[in-house]
Amino acid sequence: MDKKEFLKAIAEILMTDEDDLKEEMELNSFSDFDSIAFLQIITLFEQELKLEIDLEAIRKLHTVKDLLKLGNFV
């Protein structure tokens, strides 16, 4: 999975247009960002990127850029 595919998957989870997704955006600014969306994002990391996410890393996820950093895309 490359960065573009990752952002497309995140946009689908957050039910927003991929072109509207900006790195500085706060995750909680999306109306569809809830516990289900959060679990879908964690599943995306684990299944598609083969990354195990620990509690400390989860606590640091606040922006789209944080997701990109955790996925090693920036």
pLDDT band at 68 (very low <50, low <70, confident <90, very high): very high
Distance CA 48, CA 38 (A): 15
Q: Residue 72: how many CA atoms within 13 Å on its side-chain side?
A: 8
Q: What's residue 58's pLDDT?
A: 85
Alpha-carbon dihedral angle through residues 52, 56, 58, 63, given to the nearest 10 degrees: -120
What does the domain layout of the chain look like in residue ranges? 3-70
DSSP for residue 29:
G
Q: What is the pLDDT of residues 6-65, one digit of tens each?
A: 999 999 999 999 999 999 999 999 999 999 999 999 999 999 999 998 888 888 999 999
CATH class of 3-70: mainly alpha
CB 61 within 8 A of CB 25: no
Contacts of 62 (CB under 8 A, 6+ apart): 26, 27, 28
